[in-house]
Every structure is written in C-alpha cells, then in structure tokens.
Amino acid sequence: MATEVLVPTLGESITEATLGEWLKQPGDKVAADEPIASLETDKVSVEVPSPVTGVMGQHAVQVGDTVQVGAMIATVEAGGGAAAAAPAAAAPAPAAAPAPAASPDAPAALSPSVRRAVLEHGVDPATIKGTGKDGRLTKEDVAAAATAATAAKAPAAEVPATPSVAASTGRKEERVRMTRLRQTIARRLKDAQNSAAMLTTFNDVDMSAVIEARTKYKDLFEKKHGVRLGFMGFFVKAACMALKDIPAVNASIEGDEIIYHDYADISVAVSAPNGLVVPVIRDADQLSVAGIEKTIGDFGRRAKDGTLKMDEMKGGTFTISNGGVFGSLMSTPIINPPQSAVLGLHRIEDRPVVRDGQVVVRPMMYLALSYDHRLIDGREAVTFLVALKNAMEDPTRILIDL
C-alpha cells in the first residue's frame, strides 16, 4: 500500500518551499522517520522524513520545484516493499542505471555544496568514500579525491603525448538558479538598505586581556563545561551589558512607535552550506559565558547539518556578525530588520599602538556598529562601542557588571 509523503508544516507564515534535493531515489529502502528529501525555505533547509518503513516510490515533483505546505511530493510503499519490488524484478534490467543508482552500494545523495565541488573538480562521486553523517560525501572528501587523482596522473604526464585536437579553448560559464534561501537573503539585505537610515561607526579594541584570560583558563573551562572557551562568549556578554546602558541600540521601530526590549535576544550570524543563517541566543543577558559558548557551538554544528529549526531563527533584538573568522579586517555590516543595529567583529592582528607614551605592539581588532539613524543617534552609537571596548579591554568589568 502506497503512503503519500506530504510537505510538513514549516513554521508560522511559511506556506511554501523549494525542493532542494532528493535524498532517496525510487526503489531505495527507507526506514520510518528517515530523511528522504530536503526542502529549502526562506530561512533554513528542512528534511522531510518518511512516514513509514518501506520502499521509496515515485517522485511527484522535481528538484527546484516550489511546493505548498500539505502537498504530496512522493509515495512510499509501506512494509517490506514487496508490492513495489515485484514489478521491478520482472522487468528487464536496463542498460545503464540513472545516477545515483538505486542499490545498497550507491553513494549517498549529494548536497548542493558537494554537487558543486564534484562539478568543479570533475570527479566521479561513486568512487569516493564519504566520511560525513550516514556515509555522505563532504566537500573535503571531494577535494581530497581530486588531489589524489591529480597526484596519480603526474607520472603519466612525463610520457610524450599528442595534444588532443578536441580540447576546448573557449571560456566556460555556469548558470545556477539561486536557492530560495539566497533569494531571501538578497531581498532582505536590499530592503534593509532601502528602509533604514543606515550608518556605521568604528572603534578598535585591544584584545590582550581577553587573550590572556582565555589562555590561562581555556583548559579548565573546557574540562568543566565540555565546550571550548572562545571570544564570542566575551563579546556577547559585553554587548548585553552595553545594550542595558544604551537601550536604543536594542530597540526597534514599528510604524510610528519605538519598541524597547528589557531582554537581549542576540542573533549570531552562522555560516551554512547554502548561505548565512542567523539563529538567536534567547535571553543571552541571563546566560553565563559557558552557556553562550554551548549555544553558539550547537548552532554552528546544526547549521552545517541543516537541522536548525524555524523557531530558532525568529526574533532577535541585536545581531553580532564575526567576519574575522574568514580574515576580514574591516567591514560595514548590514542591519537585520526589524533590528536597529548590528555589531561586526573582525580579525585580530598585531598593530603598533601608543601606551603610556611608548609605541608597543598589541593584538588589535576593529569593531563596526551599523545602526539605524532614525532611532539611534551618533552619540548613542559611539557610547555603545566605547562601553563594549572598555569591557573587553578589562574583562573584570564583565564579572562585576560594570
């Protein structure tokens, strides 16, 4: 008996999604609750589980199609799949199976990022052993296979050969449809520029004290809390303190009213395979540094796996974006509406600074605060950054809330 696979409820006000990829092909065995497809919404990728144990039936939609919540996208033959397997056994074997082949040894379905890597490197995914979850291929697996293939071909390059007359000398282009997530990111960022009176102010911070504290306590911290001590925990706590001092930075505009929040829900920008996602640390002002680090670490892992939930993306009163992990020296981050400000962090580098009349070298970081000038005055923006700078340069202030 065939069971229909329906598009699940995707969250408040979300009525449709795009089919990102099929994780199971017709004829594949599936277990109940095993992911069989991936949907891309405006915010995250959502996996669709199989409602029953059985054999994957026919796909009702194609990759890239837009589907509505509640719509049928495929069928699964319940039970052992005998009804579906019998016709397949009676049919003559095809000359070539479509990729990926529906067999126990077939490679796991490729994610969009891995698929791009396969195309770039020109390797056969069926010959690569995946090291990801459930044996899936990762970008690193593809890159390693490409490197190994190049090394294997090196000796053969020493043998004189007649140049191929079929080799193309033309320039290539690839046209790839934007994912729903990327379209949403583009639209929201442009809307933010169009609606807010956006301005950015800068400062820098001497990271010596925080680096010293982290070096001194990181081993004990990890042993006690089971998570690494990073810099984001310090920055989130320092930002929460500064937000209390300058509440306008933590506020938002709704119509002709200003909404002030007596809590700090901090959005943290996290890199995911399909783009940047911004999960929210709820009540960050009430969390310890360890609690913040655990939450951020969990967000990072689940962003890569595509398992972040819709509710974890909603809300947020202030955003912190750390471009420094990618090597950025300075940037002007864009506000995440309806928030009124975003803090940009950048890489730490040794620079000469003057201390007590002497030129010394210190590990410095540029800070950037982009804000909506309709709500936040320049004085408030600068005061916020100075408060943040003071807390980071003297972490004791974070401990005693000064």
Query: Quick one: pLDDT at residue 107?
Result: 45
State the Cα–Cα distance between residues 70 and 390, nearest whole angstrom.
52
Torsion over CA: 133, 134, 138, 140 (sign): positive
Q: Identify the residue whose tokens are 């065939």.
A: 2
Looking at every residue in the chain, the average pLDDT score rounds to: 83
Q: How far apart are the C-alpha atoms of 229 and 222, rounded to whole Å? A: 7
In single-letter form, the type of residue at position 307 comes to T
26, 137, 237, 282, 397 from 264: Cα distances, Å:
48, 39, 10, 7, 18
**The pTM is what?**
0.63
The model's confidence at residue 81, banded by pLDDT at 50, 70 and 90, is: very low
Catalytically annotated residues: 373, 377
Query: What's the CATH number where 315 sits?
Result: 3.30.559.10
Q: Is 155 helix (H, G, I), strand (E, B) or coil?
A: helix
Query: Is residue 94 assigned to a domain?
Result: no
Domain region containing 257: 198-400
Long-range CB contacts (within 8 A, 24+) of 81-87: 81/29, 81/54, 81/55, 83/1, 84/27, 84/54, 84/55, 84/57, 85/55
- In this predicted structure, the answer to whether residue 91 has a pLDDT above a threshold of 50 is no
Maximum mean pLDDT: which of 2-6, 131-135, 249-253, 326-330: 249-253
DSSP 3-state of 273: coil
Task: Convert the pLDDT of each residue in 262-296 to its tens digit.
Answer: 999 999 988 777 667 889 999 999 999 999 999 99
Both 15 and 127 in one domain: the answer is: yes
Q: How many domains is the chain partitioned into structurally? A: 2
Is 189 part of a structural domain of the chain? no
Query: With bands split at pLDDT 50, 70 and 90, how would you rate the model's confidence at 93?
Result: very low
- Write out pLDDT tens, residues 173-212: 888 877 777 777 788 778 888 888 999 999 999 999 999 9
Separation of alpha carbons 165 and 9, rounded Å: 55
Same domain, 320 and 395: yes
3-state secondary structure of 108: coil
Residues whose CB falls within 8 Å of the CB of residue 96, separated by 6 or more in sequence, listed in order: none
How far apart (Å, rounded) are the C-alpha atoms in residues 298 and 279? 10
* Cα–Cα distance for residue pair 241/385, rounded to 1 Å: 11
Please report whether residue 169 resides in a domain: no
Ranges of H-type helices in 196-330: 208-225, 232-245, 289-305
Question: DSSP label at 159?
Answer: S
CATH code, domain carrying 17: 2.40.50.100
Task: Looking at the structure, tell me whether residues 132 and 273 fall in a common domain.
Answer: no
